[in-house]
């Protein structure tokens, strides 16, 4: 694995940890946020639960780091779908927070 890829992995996980860690320090509050109903396209009456919010924010961090480290390729996220950046050197499939949807599809 080249150094650029190692640095991408390290800094992406570091940024993700900085974002998510404050939410995980109060388990009671976190579990209550996690149990809220998820807002869907059909039903705009519910506040998104924290898991969905994590997915959206972690997806942004991931895409930002891909571009920052100039990692070219195709990548798929449950939140943002397929994206391409530069040459098709890497193929990345990820679900930023819990991997539940991708796991249910066999990834």
Residue with tokens 């943002």: 80
CATH of the domain at 56: 3.30.540.10
Residues in the chain: 107
SS (H, E, C) 60-97: HHHHHHHHHCCCCEEEEECCCEEEEECCCCEEEEECCC
pLDDT of 11 strictly over 80? yes
What domain range is 65 assigned to? 3-104
The per-residue pLDDT for 37 is: 57
If one counts the domains in the chain, the total is 1
Q: Structure pTM?
A: 0.71
Rounded to whole angstroms, the Cα distance separating 6 from 105 reads: 28
Q: What is the pLDDT of residues 52-91, one digit of tens each?
A: 777 888 889 999 998 899 888 898 887 888 888 888 788 8
């Amino acid at each position: 694995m080249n150094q650029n890829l190692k640095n991408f992995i390290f800094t992406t996980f570091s940024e993700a940890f900085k974002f998510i860690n404050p939410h995980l320090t109060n388990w009671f509050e976190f579990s209550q946020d996690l149990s809220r109903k998820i807002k869907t396209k059909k039903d705009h009456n519910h506040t998104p639960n924290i898991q969905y919010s994590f997915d959206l924010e972690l997806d942004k961090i991931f895409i930002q780091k891909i571009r920052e480290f100039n990692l070219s390729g195709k990548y798929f996220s449950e939140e943002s779908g397929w994206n391409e950046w530069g040459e098709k050197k890497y193929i990345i499939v990820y679900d930023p927070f819990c991997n539940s949807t991708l796991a249910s599809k066999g990834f």
